[in-house]
Structure 1
Amino acid sequence: MAKTIYDKPTRALLKDMLVSWNLQPGQVFTAARAIQWFATNYPKLKPGSIRAHLVQAATNDPSRLHHPSTNITDDILFKVAPGEFRRYEAGKDPAPIREMVKGDIAKQEIEDIDIDRDGSEEINLPGSTEFLLEKDLQRYLAENLGCIEPGLKLYEDEDLRGIEYEAGGGRRIDILAVDRNGAFVVIELKVSRGYDRVIGQLLRYMNWVRRDLAELGQKVRGIIVCRSMSEDLRLACSSMNDVELFEYKLSVAVTKVATLQLRE
């Protein structure tokens, strides 16, 4: 059983919130309204945690499946737009997403690109080799964070995990971890060459964690992992003590296997 701050887990408190509002079918509420309700009734819960639980409860958000604990009891919301939800209506709404479906994930990533695109960002489109490699790299590192730093572990929020962690406005942190000293570590992945533009994205996520998730005085630092670092990125990070850069290398071994001998 995951550790909870209150006598009920946040996913149960979310249901209490809907009951207290007497929300009618089709009536939309915002994440901001939910955060305010929790601030009034359960002030120890952080806004970032509440946003993540809203994602888990949204039956049509593929990111809910990054949290293995998601089950039928979480099928209570339907996401109508970034940061906007209503009650899920069984039989009327599409069936809840229960497994990773390539098309759904691609659709979600396209939506994320539309949110983040500023005309200069390097984009890895869903289905491209770079996109698939980034997802493979994400899964591997999430399960082997010790290869980056001893004691580094995936962030857990009750039953939620720090993979594709909701960071407001439909944006998601690739990997959110915690180091052995209790500091948050925001990890941004790029399978291609790392350019200095990525530092703006990382800093936004770091400051979001400071504002919406971290405790007072809790440190937050960042890590960028990519295939190769551009000189511009290394220069941009040269005076940032709370940002580290890592390059990864892939290796493939091919071994010849003898065929079976057939009788003549």
Structure 2
Amino acid sequence: MARTIYDKPTRLLLNDMIAAWSLKPGEVFTSGRAIDWFAGKYPKLRPGSIRAHLVQAATNDQSRLHHSPSEADDLFFKVGPSQFRLYEPGKDPAPIREKFAGDVAQQEATEPEQGTEDAEARPGSSQFLWEKDLQQYLSRNLEILEPGLRLYEEDNLKGIEFDAGGRFIDLLAVDKTGALVVIELKVSKGYDRVVGQLLRYVNYVRRELAAPGQRVRGIIICRNMTEDLRLACASIPDVELYEYQLSVTVQRVEALPLPK
């Protein structure tokens, strides 16, 4: 079950915030104001968590799909970067709650073509074709990395494509000691430039999500690790490197005998 810090989940506490402010239709507020309100009332909730819940509650923000929103989450309408107002049914567009065929086609169109550095898989290959496939597999099998590793969950937020200030962490996990683990995935080769991406996410989580004194570390997973990446990480103690292998075996099964 997802962890809930207070008696009410954060998604319901947002309604309390609306009532406390006597928020009127059309009145705009910032994520900073929401973070300040929660800091005064519910200080255990970290700014990164509040931002993620505001995204989930923003009916017109495509990023909310990463958090599986429901009708109860249709609270706000995003009017600008870190700016929100109340959602107004009948006036505003219908809330985004699921991907449709056009969204899937658009996503597939943005995937790298085969033959590029990030999508070299062919039939019989030992790697995943798309990064999303690797992400979904690992999200359900994190213990293959280390015992006790599990997907981050708070209220109904899950650590898949976790919002890190408008960019998204592939997987956010928690290890058996309670440390937060940022996992960056590359379906094919891992190049040294991924280090900067990972460290940006790690430090975002330290600043916006981790509790005081809570350790945050990073993992990079790819099919083939370049020497440049290994060298770049050689002096970074909180970053670990993994290569994955994909293997499929096929065994013939005899047909059932039929009566003659």
* TM-score, normalisation: structure 2: 0.83
CA distance in 1, matches of 2:90, 2:133: 35
Contact in 1 for aligned 2:52/2:163 (Cα 8 Å):
yes
Q: Secondary structure at the match of 2:188?
A: strand
> Quick check: 1:133 aligned with 2:133?
no
Structure 1 residues 62 and 51, CA, compared in 2 at 3 Å: closer, same or farther?
same
Does the 8 A contact of 1:28 with 1:86 survive in 2? yes
Q: 1:18: which partner in 2?
A: 18
Q: Which moved more, 1:56-65 or 1:248-257?
A: 248-257
Q: 1:56 to 1:194 in 2, by over 3 A?
A: same
- Return the offset for 1:152: 0.4
- Write out per-residue CA displacement over residues 141-198 of structure 1, whole angstroms, 9 at most, x where no aligned residue: 1011011111100011122111111111x11111000000111100001112111111
Matched, 1:57 2:57: yes
Deviation, 1:90, is 1.3
State the 1:34 CA deviation: 1.2
**Aligned partner of 1:171 among 167, 174, 179:** 167
2:154 match: 157
Q: How far has the Cα of 1:62 moved from its partner?
A: 3.4
Q: Secondary structure at the match of 1:149?
A: coil
Match of 2:204 in 1: 208
Indicate the RMSD between aligned Cα atoms, in angstroms.
Answer: 2.8
The runs of at least 4 aligned residues of structure 1 exceeding 6 Å deviation read: 255-259
Write the letter of the residue equivalent to 1:188.
E
**Whole-Å separation in 1 of the counterparts to 2:66 and 2:199:** 23
Partner amino acid, structure 2, of 1:32: G
Q: What SS does the corresponding residue of 2:110 show, helix, strand or coil?
A: coil
Corresponding residue for 1:192? 188
Q: 1:102 to 1:251 in 2, by over 3 A?
A: farther
Give the percent of matched residue pairs that are identical in Structure 1 and Structure 2: 66
- The letter for the 2-side match of 1:249 is Q
SS in 2 for 1:188: strand
Native 8 Å contact 2:2 2:153 kept in 1: no
Per-residue deviation, 1:249: 2.1
Matching residue of 1:78: 77
Contact 1:106 1:127 (C-alpha < 8 Å) held by counterparts: no
Contact 1:60 1:96 in 2 (8 A): yes
2:231 counterpart residue number: 235
Change (3 A) 1:251 1:39: same
Distance 2:58 2:105 in 1: 17
- State the SS of the aligned residue for 2:130: helix
Deviation at 1:45, TM superposition (A): 1.1
Contact 1:62 1:104 in 2 (8 A): no
Contact 1:155-1:176 within 8 A present in 2 as well: yes
Alignment of 1:207-226 (within 5 A): 207-226=203-222
TM-score calculated relative to the size of structure 1: 0.82
Matches of residues 96-111 of structure 1 in structure 2 within 5 Å? 96-101=95-100, 103-104=102-103
Contact map agreement 2:130 2:187 (CA 8 A) in 1 = yes
Secondary structure at the aligned position of 2:92 is classed as coil
- Asked if 1 retains the 8 angstrom alpha-carbon contact of 2:129 and 2:187, the reply is no
CA contact (8 A) 1:152 1:177 kept: yes
Kindly state the Cα deviation for residue 97 of structure 1 after the two structures are TM-superposed. 2.0
Contact 1:165 1:174 in 2 (8 A): yes
Corresponding position of 1:116 = none
Counterpart of 2:30, as a letter, is T
| Closer/same/farther in 2, CA of residues 17 and 247 from structure 1, 3 Å limit | same
Query: Offset at 1:4?
Result: 2.8
